[in-house]
Amino acid sequence: MKWFSYIVGLLLLVIDQLVKSAVSNQIALGTVKSFIPGVLSLTNLRNDGAAWSILSGNQIFFYLITVVALVVLIYLLVTQRQHLLYQWGLTLMITGTLGNFIDRIRLKYVVDMFQIDFFNFPIFNIADMCLTFGVIILFIAIIRDERIEG
């Protein structure tokens, strides 16, 4: 079962890169195209910072943080609890981290494309979704274990 999460992570990484490439090639930079009217649009945005372009232009900082994060996440995946929720959470976090790191190395920015239309939220990509769901799953696993042990 452990390998299944790794295969899914690899597939999500490939899908992330393919979607970023398609958006970069098919949608002009800064253009917004309605996907689900009033809910979700597609755009082509270059983000050289974090969410809401925080720390924009600090690529060296992002390289260092990403390498440290990957080392820690991989170490935890290999050495720590192998409960299914931990495994999935860490695998998704590694996938998302790698997806955006590939962009930063290759392009010097991250390609974002999903825009929520009904409230102000940062434009995001599949790697960001992997990171978010990975953190949520890991949080649930930690809370679950605390309740069982406590």
Catalytic residues: 112, 128
Tokens of 125: 């990509």
Contact 99, 18 (CB under 8 A): no
C-alpha 4/C-alpha 19 separation (Å) is 22
Residue of 14, 17, 30 whose CA lies nearest to 107: 17
- The DSSP element (H or E) to which 20 belongs, if any, is helix 2-26
Sheet strands side by side (includes 110-116): 32-36, 40-47, 110-116
- Give the CA radius of gyration of the chain: 16
Q: Where are the alpha helices (DSSP H) in the chain?
A: 2-26, 59-79, 84-107, 126-149
